[in-house]
Structure 1
């Protein structure tokens, strides 16, 4: 058996080239026939065997295909084509590490093969192997220096390695020898990227010069102003930077971020919630917000944030000025816009006072607070807000009284029935909440939001089948009885969370985990799908967005939707640990496969959905070990929340590590949690079931005794 590449006779070589084109054109059946013709004449030709194997692998005959590819590699170890084919098989199977190894060997065998280098480049990004990404892109640029994408990609490689000065230098050289892009968008993106690189290098003046020189070519005005503002601020020209941010606020572009940036320029200290710290900071912030409101009368955001900063003496007047237009224009979002103000009991009381006064005025047929124009519908909205107000204060009897008044006034407003459902839900009356959410839905059968809210309340009431039937109303009629597969395929995060909660409440922990774990599966699928994107962005010059995509792809543990699932997943694993795997399996009711239909294509599609999205075999062995990463993600990203430490205490007690549980208890004390006393008792009780070093016991008791 030879490891050398056997040259083909001219006739077969022509057929081999034809087979390669057929494969590239996805004409796989013809490619197989052509390969068989070559092998009939030259049975031991390794490259033909490899190409035939790759074609079979692509046709879903994976075992037969990869066996042929490996046979081809064995017969022609020095062939880059054989190793490239093997790498493509591994890549198709999502075995990216092995694919990268074989691509590296292929580049050694055929150093000038640009297809292999491009594949290796994309795969290196997928594996975050930035050194290999740089190496492959440097070689590609050496082979094809007249291709813009190679320059852009090498610049990105330098940036990922932290060498931003070289990244900027590469772009400067590229601009001198070729056009920035093939169209206006590409040109604009390249110059914005260059300006961003100069900002990263602290070359603020150069960034400003790029923006000025190419001002007419940069079509993304908002991002241009944002970069200019950052450059001016870093340079120390705060007045001009503030003017840029003011322009962006006037354009209604990222108003919150711009206001925070101006606050930073004025050295106003802000907390984690971007609200000022202390009375002096609040006064300065209020002055800034008033200035913004005067310059931009349509900036509701500034007037709303002012309500958080204003002292109590001025709060009522500002609240009236802010909320009255919502009532006059009958904008329902007022019910949620003011909810953060309820963190302050005094402001919450003032809100109630204002709306009760408005109710009295409207009952007396006085419309002074609302422009003086009579409108009989206004009192209905005031009653609706009062119902929401008393719900937030947990005064449910009053809330029901006001929502009843609103419904009696105008029985056809669907939002009122949804509000009543919310009141019942806050009371813990889940069946009644589902009933009234359904009444809201029936008032507007075309409203998908109402449909979703109704299904959500039905899930929370334990009505899983009914909730899925409600969702089915907005899905295609060809997907009858497989709503859960369609919802999972569409990455409906709230569905996965809510139906998981419903199963957990029923005691079916396995079904709950099947839904909770889907978010990670979606993230993994999205990660795999980015492979082709890593080559596309350099051709289209969308590299600024590419860096954002890479950052988001690497930040699963800090994703807000994932963090909502972490406590649920942790508690599910704790339940498995407490009851045992056998007992948990006994309570599991597997989903039934959708029944076959007369449509063969539809049945095939649903079978594929089932295989891909239904986690039939959830591993529940070693549950506490599996729960660890979710607890760590919570504590790392939600340290300042009570929910994170409550879950951590439950987990560490199950793990029989009370000292770590005490650490979270101390954090709960600092957060002034009302559950501290209950957790103290739980920890004390658990000490009797754990064998600890006497010094550890003393430390725990001291921590429990201290306040």
Structure 2
């Protein structure tokens, strides 16, 4: 906000500078006061009006801010301040396209403004307009070539746009222009050099990347990353002996890192599929395991490639060791092997053979630690007292078999129940919930959801201070449609002063798993408005995560964490392929389809099962109660804030979280019913784009497109489902519906669409009617 297009007298000009400072320091009330003083004498001063609009927007008065900013533009059309503020207002509304237009106009009026240029660049990278971002960053670099961040940012833009050679060249030129050698503690320089190395490797020039890495090897601050990069380069260059040494060094630093073992296997040029190499690998892993009794990975990994008698012997040794130590995660470590039926059967035979055995008397001190904790572990002091070897052995064997028979690849729930009950009966530590948790899981798999929920709650009551079991209990309660009980259970670990109670805090904390499970529970109960409200909350959380990257565009550059920033940008690009987004999106689409097929649902209070007068009265009563509780929580929060002796400087501008005016989601549900298919598309598009191999997403896509009469996309989804899941239960039904729809289109299809459908679909079905000819009576 450098200069004003309308010149103010000295006193008002000083006030305007204070106004800008007040905005930047978030002292909004002082800023408004200063703006009012200026506007009393100069009511048409556009820049002051624009700054006042910006403050109003930050106070939550968006409509008033836009009106005032438009008035400011009318009074000062050629003011870069007004256009800049106009762009900022649009950015706050997440209307990035309009914001970019406003910034560009502001730059025409003030081409030298670094602040406008920076804001424009941030929006361009947020929108993934890499060409525009490179152009903006190049201009910023030309304006301030002595500022390292400008060089790095340009390199990032070129890298993300695919110009790897250009990105490396920019970083190289900056290094050549440096007048002083950076200190060894210069984190920004160390990260930039490693970033340059990763660009060289990504371009495919591995030899040059290795040579460059050797040059910076001793001065690099991230030792582990440098060693991993060097080991990878050596392996890719087929310099196996050197790669073996490097992976050996890495394993000495972290002997539990499986990726390093995989790299070592490649460096040794050993093939897991040949018997001779299996023996050599077994010897190598044995030597690693002998280095410390605490190493698990070197003992566990050979089970992945050993077969037959060799597997039986090694599995026997491994199982005995783990069971003697009393490690509850033994089954979790081995269940990956169950995809091989022979190995699964071998493990079962071994463990069932242990039932009649007792451990050796000289089991050692470690046998008395149920959790496998070391003597120095704080957790071991909190856990139950030491167990004798016999009890430890019996617990381990029975608990393993309970999990074995509960697992979906070896499921026999009758046996699973027998073994878990035996485990619980011999467990001397009655306060240990681990075995009761597994008992609840077995009941869930049996289909006894209510009993499973009750059993999990009993497990929770054994340790009221444990957040994990508290969370599991809430999940089981939601699966049993005990929504009130679940939120109360979660409330034991939420902030008491949160607006909206425990649910409000879970929403604030973006607890996606709970919100998704809660929504699915309401959907099962036919409470569509509440279900849709929860799924919309999940959608909004992912939107927030998308928006949250905005601050990192500058933060990562300022801190010099460039490689982590690149990873973050690429992760954000695929954010919505997350399983929780998929679950919420598919459920939301299902509700929108119900609304489209039966618009009367919107008039029934959001219930798919109908609702009696008594039920409606109960619902209204619950809504009023929730509103009263929210108001009470808000009043308590305000009282606590008022009780503070002196608020902080920016405290007056702190935004207070408002109560939920639509706790049952009824108003939003009615709005969604106006254009349900348009709303469904918001969820469907990221699903089809980022999760194209999800058959359920393709089925949902067909349902939406067939209702929109978009027959070509519907056909694409149908063919994708057929390729992904030929036995999908909805496939035959959708096939018939599409054929029927094509045989009875009300209007002829476009020629190109008709041709594609005929060639890819109808011709293979032998349909008598060609696509798009329409009905005979039209």
Query: What is the deviation of 1:156?
Result: 1.2
Query: What is the deviation of 1:531?
Result: 2.0
Indicate if the aligned counterparts of 1:485 and 1:613 stay in contact, CA closer than 8 A.
no
Indicate if the aligned counterparts of 1:283 and 1:309 stay in contact, CA closer than 8 A.
no
**1:284-433 superposed matches below 5 A:** 288=281, 291-292=284-285, 294-295=287-288, 300-362=296-358, 374-392=389-407, 393-410=410-427, 411-433=430-452
- Mean alpha-carbon deviation: is it higher for 438-447 or for 295-304? 295-304
CA gap 1:579/1:83 in 2 versus in 1, 3 angstroms: closer
Query: What is the deviation of 1:203?
Result: 3.9
2: CA distance between counterparts of 1:665 and 1:126? 36
Indicate if the aligned counterparts of 2:156 and 2:167 stay in contact, CA closer than 8 A.
yes
1: CA distance between counterparts of 2:276 and 2:741? 54
TM-score (norm 2): 0.78
Q: Which of 586, 603, 608 does residue 658 from structure 2 map onto?
A: 608
2: CA distance between counterparts of 1:492 and 1:225? 37
After superposition, give the CA deviation of every residue in 1:529-584 in whole Å (9 maximum; x if it has no partner): 22222112222211111111111111124324323445444444455455555277
**What is the match of residue 144 of structure 2?**
144
2: CA distance between counterparts of 1:595 and 1:380? 48
Indicate if the aligned counterparts of 1:121 and 1:133 stay in contact, CA closer than 8 A.
yes
**What is the match of residue 240 of structure 2?**
238
Query: What is the deviation of 1:406?
Result: 1.1
After superposition, give the CA deviation of every residue in 1:131-172 in whole Å (9 maximum; x if it has no partner): 222222222222222222112112212212222222222222
Indicate if the aligned counterparts of 1:652 and 1:661 stay in contact, CA closer than 8 A.
no
2: CA distance between counterparts of 1:483 and 1:285? 55
SS of the counterpart of 1:443?
coil
Query: What is the deviation of 1:265?
Result: 6.2
1: CA distance between counterparts of 2:682 and 2:33? 51
Query: What is the deviation of 1:689?
Result: 6.5
CA gap 1:572/1:62 in 2 versus in 1, 3 angstroms: closer
After superposition, give the CA deviation of every residue in 1:3-52 in whole Å (9 maximum; x if it has no partner): x9333334433333333233323333333333333334444332223223
1: CA distance between counterparts of 2:690 and 2:554? 32
**1:62-101 superposed matches below 5 A:** 62-101=62-101
2: CA distance between counterparts of 1:519 and 1:697? 40
CA gap 1:625/1:35 in 2 versus in 1, 3 angstroms: closer
**What is the match of residue 580 of structure 2?**
561
Indicate if the aligned counterparts of 2:324 and 2:389 stay in contact, CA closer than 8 A.
no
**What is the match of residue 488 of structure 2?**
469
Q: Any unmatched runs of 5+ in structure 2?
A: 368-387, 609-618, 640-654, 745-756, 768-778
1: CA distance between counterparts of 2:57 and 2:70? 12
- Mean alpha-carbon deviation: is it higher for 327-336 or for 600-609? 600-609
- Mean alpha-carbon deviation: is it higher for 143-152 or for 313-322? 313-322
- Mean alpha-carbon deviation: is it higher for 512-521 or for 442-451? 512-521
1: CA distance between counterparts of 2:185 and 2:36? 45
Query: What is the deviation of 1:251?
Result: 2.7
After superposition, give the CA deviation of every residue in 1:453-474 in whole Å (9 maximum; x if it has no partner): 1111111111111111111111
Query: What is the deviation of 1:288?
Result: 4.5
CA gap 1:515/1:317 in 2 versus in 1, 3 angstroms: farther
**1:193-208 superposed matches below 5 A:** 193-208=195-210
2: CA distance between counterparts of 1:690 and 1:569? 25
- Mean alpha-carbon deviation: is it higher for 13-22 or for 344-353? 13-22
2: CA distance between counterparts of 1:140 and 1:102? 18
SS of the counterpart of 1:399?
helix
**What is the match of residue 272 of structure 1?**
none
2: CA distance between counterparts of 1:554 and 1:612? 32
CA gap 1:73/1:683 in 2 versus in 1, 3 angstroms: closer
SS of the counterpart of 1:77?
coil
Q: Which of 540, 560, 583 does residue 559 from structure 2 map onto?
A: 540
Query: What is the deviation of 1:213?
Result: 3.2
**What is the match of residue 668 of structure 1?**
725
Q: Any unmatched runs of 5+ in structure 1?
A: 270-275, 670-674, 703-707
CA gap 1:125/1:683 in 2 versus in 1, 3 angstroms: closer
Query: What is the deviation of 1:263?
Result: 5.8
**What is the match of residue 530 of structure 2?**
511
2: CA distance between counterparts of 1:585 and 1:404? 46
1: CA distance between counterparts of 2:740 and 2:683? 25
SS of the counterpart of 1:450?
helix
Q: How many residues align?
A: 682
Indicate if the aligned counterparts of 2:497 and 2:633 stay in contact, CA closer than 8 A.
no
Q: Which of 452, 461, 466 does residue 471 from structure 2 map onto?
A: 452
2: CA distance between counterparts of 1:343 and 1:649? 33
Query: What is the deviation of 1:505?
Result: 1.5
**What is the match of residue 47 of structure 2?**
47
Indicate if the aligned counterparts of 1:469 and 1:483 stay in contact, CA closer than 8 A.
yes
Query: What is the deviation of 1:216?
Result: 3.8
Indicate if the aligned counterparts of 2:500 and 2:659 stay in contact, CA closer than 8 A.
no
Q: Which of 250, 262, 276 does residue 248 from structure 1 map onto?
A: 250
1: CA distance between counterparts of 2:121 and 2:577? 28
TM-score (norm 1): 0.85
Q: Give yes or no for the alignment of 1:597 onto 2:664.
A: no
After superposition, give the CA deviation of every residue in 1:567-619 in whole Å (9 maximum; x if it has no partner): 44444445545555527754176964344227536379885363799966142
**What is the match of residue 668 of structure 2?**
617
CA gap 1:494/1:21 in 2 versus in 1, 3 angstroms: closer
Query: What is the deviation of 1:436?
Result: 0.9
**What is the match of residue 170 of structure 1?**
170
Query: What is the deviation of 1:331?
Result: 1.5
Query: What is the deviation of 1:323?
Result: 2.3
Cα RMSD between the aligned structures? Answer: 3.8
Query: What is the deviation of 1:206?
Result: 4.0
2: CA distance between counterparts of 1:76 and 1:335? 72
CA gap 1:586/1:85 in 2 versus in 1, 3 angstroms: closer
Query: What is the deviation of 1:118?
Result: 1.4
Q: Give yes or no for the alignment of 1:495 onto 2:552.
A: no
